[in-house]
Amino acid sequence: MTTNNSAVNPGNFTKYKVLAAVLGAVIPVAVAVLYFFPDVFRIEGAQVKSLPKVNAVLNSLTAVFLMIGYYFIRRKNVARHRAMMGIAFLLGSLFLVSYVAYHSQVPSTKFGGTGLIKGVYYFILLTHIVLAAVTVGLVLFTLYFALTEQFQKHRRIARWTYPIWLYVSVTGVIVYFMIAPYYT
């Protein structure tokens, strides 16, 4: 008799894979809808002015916990790795909720810089946005493979997920500091 100690109920994991795929597609689309149709979910009187700072802190902390989690897995400390990555996932999830709450209430701020810095800003912003959309699915599938104890697949996808997620977290903070002077 074999036992399965995975965090998810043993057996057929297809429904979890489908959920990860659906969320990996729906979340970036929902964020795009907020960008292109900013008035769709507007709530009069919502107080969201401080959320960009909160988002920067959440992104910073996510990056820190990702690096700590990487440190622990390189030293084969799976329990601490799992804890750090769980915290990173929680912080990333809180960021996403906060980001959606803010952008559902406030139109996007236009960058006011000129010259070379404008090109740098838009390069960072564009790569950040594209990779952030990809990160949702990568993170969900990396988590799925860990929870279902498919560690070979987990390691294979984590090699891509980690640097992309870290890049998105760090560039999110950089974008915040570059755009912050132009918030009204």
Cβ neighbours of residue 175 closer than 8 Å, sequence gap 6 or more? 121, 124, 125, 128
Q: pLDDT by residue (tens digit) across 140-172?
A: 999 999 999 999 999 999 999 999 999 999 999
| pLDDT confidence band for 50 (50 / 70 / 90) | very high
Given the structure tokens 């990860």, which residue do they identify?
Answer: 20
More confident residue, 98 or 3: 98
Distance of CA 127 to the CA centre of its chain: 14
Average per-residue pLDDT in the chain? 88
Q: Quick count: other Cβ atoms within 10 Å of Cβ 163?
A: 13
42's tokens: 């507007």
Residue type, 124: I
- What proportion of the chain, given as a percentage, has pLDDT over 90? 65
- Answer with the residue of higher pLDDT: 184 or 48: 48
Q: Pick the residue with more confidence: 31 or 82?
A: 82
Q: What is the pLDDT of residue 11?
A: 54
Whether 144 contacts 16, CB under 8 Å:
yes
Contact 87, 156 (CB under 8 A): no
Maximal C-alpha separation, the chain:
68
What are the residues whose beta carbons fall under 8 Å from the beta carbon of 15, sequence distance 6 or more? none
Per-residue pLDDT tens digits for 62-82: 999 999 999 999 999 999 999
**Band of residue 2 on the pLDDT scale cut at 50, 70, 90:** very low
The CATH number given to 47-182 is: 1.20.120.80
Q: Which pTM does this prediction carry?
A: 0.84
Question: Is 25's pLDDT higher than 50?
Answer: yes
Calpha distance 143→85 (Å, rounded): 9
What totals of helices (H) and strands (E) does the chain contain, helices first? 5, 0
Q: Where are the domains of the chain?
A: 47-182
Residue 158 structure tokens: 């984590």
Q: CA 34, CA 96: separation in Å to the nearest integer? A: 13
Task: Check pLDDT > 90 for residue 53.
Answer: yes
